[in-house]
Structure 1
Amino acid sequence: MNPFRRAVTYVTSRPLRPKLFISHCLVALVTMAIFVLMTLFFNPEFSSFLRQGGSLAAVVPYVALAAVVSGVVATAASLFVSSRITRPVTRMLSATRLVSSGDYSERVPKQEDDELGELSQSFNQMAEALEAAEYQRSEFISDTSHELKTPITTLQGYLEGLLDGVIEPSDDTWGLMYVEAERMRRLVEDLRQLSRAESETLTLHLTDLDPEEVTDLAADGMRPLFTEKGVALESHHSEAHPNVRADRDRTLQVLANLLSNALRHTPKGGTVSVRLARRGQKVAFEVADSGSGVEAEDLPRLFDRFYRVEKSRSREGGGSGIGLAISRALVEAMGGRIRAESEGVGRGATFVFTLPISNNAKSSR
């Protein structure tokens, strides 16, 4: 390595503050050298001074004074600029180390409205996202273990009873054990499907679907359960709607999840309605119930995995707790959006999801 490259490597490997100081000093020295050279060669008055017997030694004190002043100014400028740059960078470096060690609560104060300020803001947004993801991960593990604990404990109790002879083998015993095993299988399958949908690895077969036909098919499949509980199930199609581009089985699954959720939270004598409406280039599927309702602060989190609304929509009836999360993942995978609406506790709720209209859309009637 030649001396020049070695010197460059040495300088660039130094901390930011010395590099800024050196760069300012170099700028000052180069500027002063250019000024001196321009004065020596292009200034007529100075050339006349030399021809009349003047000596360069006479200007040395002035050059030295200029060098000292330039050095002082360069030092002051480098200290000022480096402090404004290195202080937030140092804080960000410290915060980065804390975040990398697992402390996602660390934030960097935004001091300036420049690129460093934007960098601090971006870092804080990243830290907030990591903190939220870590919280959701911890909550997900806790909820999953809780969901699996109950059927595993039940199965273990029955097996110990059978081994000890306390419980006699019977069809009822085997049936109860099968129900608990099926509950675990269904939860694992739901989690697998949710993971595939959220990671966009779920295979979709998009076709042109008649929205009225799909809603009627989903309602007819759920109607016996509604009749058994004494809840009215209504399906309204007041006008023709264009075909949508979606996966038939997944659309039916979303409708079944929403209808099952509505049935679970609607008391006997209540009503659940399925409606269709056009929203621009999308068709909206609405499932409205007259059940327990949802408070406004709980609406945004209804589609989170295992989220419980203790006062209104706590999980009852054996649901896995991730049906709404799966519905959101499926709808978004098909290019739509899903949301929940409610006027409050005891005033029912409406779940609405949209699907894009087919490019070859024709009226379904």
Structure 2
Amino acid sequence: MRRIGVVVNPIAGMGGRVGLKGTDGKVAEARERGAEPRAPDRAATALESLAEVADGVTLVTYGDPMGASLVRGTGFDPEVVGDPRDPEETTGADTRAAVRAFVEAGVDVILFVGGDGTAVDVAETLEELDDETPILGVPAGVKVYSSVFGVSPRAAGRIVASFSETERAEVNDIDEDAFRGGDVVTELRAVATVPVAEQRQSAKQLGGGTVETLAEGVADSVEPGVTYVLGPGSTVGAIKEALGFQGTTLGVDVWRDGEVLVEDAAESDILAVLGDRNVVVVSPIGGQGFVFGRGNQQLSPEVIRRCDLEVVASRRKLDTIGTLRVDTGDPTLDDDLRGWLKVRVGRHERRLVEVR
């Protein structure tokens, strides 16, 4: 009988849609901006998926809001091995305490819900204990750079219930303050044991190649009266420069008819300035292939539904990705986006790529 430890970081990802690019040290500000918890819904989806394929598993979890009610809500009767010190303000210390309790309880795998910061808390605690219990993340944070996550909540739930082999994978994190300032400063924080699974995401690759011709092609094709929602990343950043403004490298900017309507926009800012016709321009994350759901949660399902989609990428990036992925938080929208998509790779050239 497999024993699965489940721990939820309830504040993970709250800063995404309100444009904070992370929640570390920014919970109060995120709430002031109207942020809603994202992790509980992601956890519920993963647990529902787990329940569909689980056969003779026992779930071990932590007290609310870090798992107990969510696990019970999926039909399991979990072992609860502890409680956070302050349920109103959980911290990484609570995640680390949960991991220690899971190890003492003899779990076979740990399913955590959060982002890279949560992954660091889990992996570093296991390293301190000299323990090699496998871990797998349900992606719920703004930053998901590490290769210890399922490609979606449903995939993570299925994997922990059914995997048979493990391997070692990197846990990376970035400096959120530098990230908000436009710099990506990554650091290898730990190496963890993870399930071997096709539906586990790769580590994000940084770097890319020249995109000047691609950017010029997009800039040349803009249409009067159309609102362009320009996502984060260096490829779309080159498009912003071709349009005549610097833009926010790791944020979302909105542009129409030669004017920047909003810089570093939150979801609400974007919705407020959308027009009759809108185009969202995004580039997949190198090494992972995510178009939505990683680092651009400002591009919410409501925003996406009101826009046409333009995906841009260098040929080199597409060669390293193979397929594209979406994880918007809305399963119906994800299904609508899946299929074959023409990705712009040059001034006029496009390549047909599958979205999974």
Query: For the pair shown, which has the larger CA radius of gyration, 1 or 2?
Result: 1
| TM-score interval, smaller chain | under 0.3
* Structure with the higher fraction of residues in helix conformation: 1
Q: What TM-score does the superposition give when structure 1 sets the normalisation length? A: 0.20
* Structure with the higher fraction of residues in strand conformation: 2
Q: What TM-score does the superposition give when structure 2 sets the normalisation length? A: 0.20
